[in-house]
Amino acid sequence: MRTAAPADYREGVSAPATDATDARAAHADGVERLLASYRALRPTATVRLAKPTSNLFRSRDRVEARGLDTSGLTQVIAVDAEARTADVAGMCTYEDLVAATLPHGLAPLVVPQLKTITLGGAVTGLGIESTSFRSGLPHESVLELDILTGAGEVVTASPTEHADLFHAFPNSYGTLGYAVRLRIELEPVEPFVALTHLRFHAIPDLIRAMNRIVETGALDDGTSVDYLDGVVFSADESYLCVGVQTAASGPTSDYTGQRIFYRSIQHADGATHDRLTIHDYLWRWDTDWFWCSQAFGAQHPLVRRLWPRRYRRSSAYWKLMRLERRYDIGNRIERLRGRPPRERVIQDVEIPIERTAEFLDWFLAEVPIEPIWLCPLRPRDDTDWPLYPLEPQRTYVNVGFWSTVPVGATEGATNRLIERKVSELDGHKSLYSDAFYPRDEFDALYGGDAYRAAKRRYDPDSRLLDLYAKAVQRR
């Protein structure tokens, strides 16, 4: 533990010193470079972004064509502390966004778990975190956004202006356009988060406790809850991680060194307590990519001591993952060991909370993957988001599982099995990874009619990829 004073919410944070006027001018220059790169493409060329990072796990063909220049769209343009809003360039990472807002004692309403997720990416491709039980998904706190459409125009979309594009943009994955600027809501945060890890020996008991917190916003003793997620290690070992903001100073834990956050959750019975700075809480999962750093040996005590601290982060593991996929290293090793190749099962699915215990029982019996992440979600209001249609006033649980299993008799056998179970339970599946739906089922699940209407209006020449082609056919 380390002793921390209230000002430690700034720890690890260095807000940009750029003047607001300069930032807006730099953003305008970035937009001009983006448009110039669009105009430089052949009229028949498919429009793509030139991105240095990605948090997508879909298979896709390698593309040699030049992408759009987004190098000038990576900054926080302005933070309005009084209005509790921020204007942010579409390619700005949450790491940089949080660095700009925390010195004001503010944070985005939902901060996805990994530092290199961009704000534009979280809105067009969805994102979630432990505030989602009270704040929904990132796109629900967007007030307006500028979008570069497939037609090469930058339009401002809001609930009242280009409202069809505003509502169809979430879950379109860049197939209706790219976010150039977003204005988002911010919320006040305290310098620290006090954590309670509650142990459960039966998953239905955990789900009942989770549902009570979502419905009341508090623990049974009346303590207000600010953050809520959970981890399932097995059918008889699962945890709720309950976070409460606090200004009280005191010792805090550090999980960027030898200690590993998800292992700190485990205990024999009852509840354990922990404290983190708000900065370290927001990035508690990034250091070990939840628990996936284990695949690279980064959790072995000796390797961890030798692994530079600056590379203990999701972006470093992602680069290693790309190399593994490029050279098929994992399957080469499996062949040397006389074992079959493996299928990636990297998914997040939303299951209605009343069906979540049923899904987890089925999953633990059928799919050899653990741990499993749980994150409750409730839409903020009745707004219609047709490409990812969650029911208003209904609580869902995001179930995240990220590993591999032995290949089956058909391509994506386990992923297809999961897709069928999710649909059977009236759930939804995120599209950042492999999907195998037939076209008619995909259209029914992901707002096919609304999508095509927006596509005709904002990408009439189909310069951008089609969502089904991008998500399922993996072009």
pLDDT surpasses 50 at 179: yes
Q: Please state, in angstroms and rounded to a whole number, the distance separating the CA atoms of residues 137 and 381.
A: 11
Which of these ranges, 47-56, 105-114, 415-424, has the smallest mean pLDDT? 47-56
pLDDT surpasses 70 at 14: no
Q: How confident is the model at residue 58 (pLDDT cuts 50, 70, 90)?
A: low
pLDDT surpasses 90 at 9: no
Is residue 90 within 8 Å of 69, Cβ to Cβ?
A: no
Is residue 386 within 8 Å of 451, Cβ to Cβ?
A: yes
pLDDT surpasses 70 at 430: yes
Tell me the average pLDDT of the chain: 93
| Burial environment of residue 350 by CB neighbours within 10 A (0 to 12, 13 to 18, 19 or more) | buried
Across the range 242-249, mean pLDDT stands at 96
- Residue 130: name the closest of 387, 375, 382 by CA: 375
Q: What residue spans define the domains of the chain?
A: 8-188, 192-287, 328-436
Q: Report pLDDT for 15.
A: 47
Q: Report pLDDT for 55.
A: 58
Instruction: Give the tens place of pLDDT for each residue, 130-142.
Output: 999 999 999 999 9
Same fold, 8-188 and 192-287: no
E strand map for 218-308: 227-234, 237-246, 250-252, 271-277
Query: Structure tokens of 355?
Result: 């069906």
Q: Report pLDDT for 64.
A: 47
Instruction: Give the tens place of pLDDT for each residue, 313-370.
Output: 999 999 998 888 888 888 888 888 888 899 999 999 999 999 999 999 999 999 999 9
Which of these ranges, 181-185, 309-313, 328-332, 423-427, has the smallest mean pLDDT? 328-332
Q: How confident is the model at residue 17 (pLDDT cuts 50, 70, 90)?
A: very low
Q: Is the dihedral of CA 159, 164, 166, 170 positive or negative?
A: positive
**What fold is seen in the domain 328-436?**
Alpha-Beta Plaits (3.30.70)
**Considering the domain 8-188, what is its CATH architecture?**
2-Layer Sandwich (3.30)
Q: Report pLDDT for 475.
A: 47
Most confident segment among 256-270, 332-346, 461-475: 256-270
DSSP string over 338-406: T---EEEEEEEEEEEHHHHHHHHHHHHHH-----EEEEEE--SSS---TTS-PPTT--EEEEEEEEEEE
pLDDT surpasses 60 at 62: no
In sequence order, the β-bridge partners of residue 184 are: 86, 142
Is residue 139 within 8 Å of 126, Cβ to Cβ?
A: yes
Query: Structure tokens of 333?
Result: 């090793």
Q: Please state, in angstroms and rounded to a whole number, the distance separating the CA atoms of residues 69 and 46.
A: 14
CATH match for 192-287 among 3.30.60, 1.10.10, 1.10.1740, 3.30.70: 3.30.70
Q: Report pLDDT for 289.
A: 96
Q: Report pLDDT for 439.
A: 97
Q: Please state, in angstroms and rounded to a whole number, the distance separating the CA atoms of residues 421 and 130.
A: 25
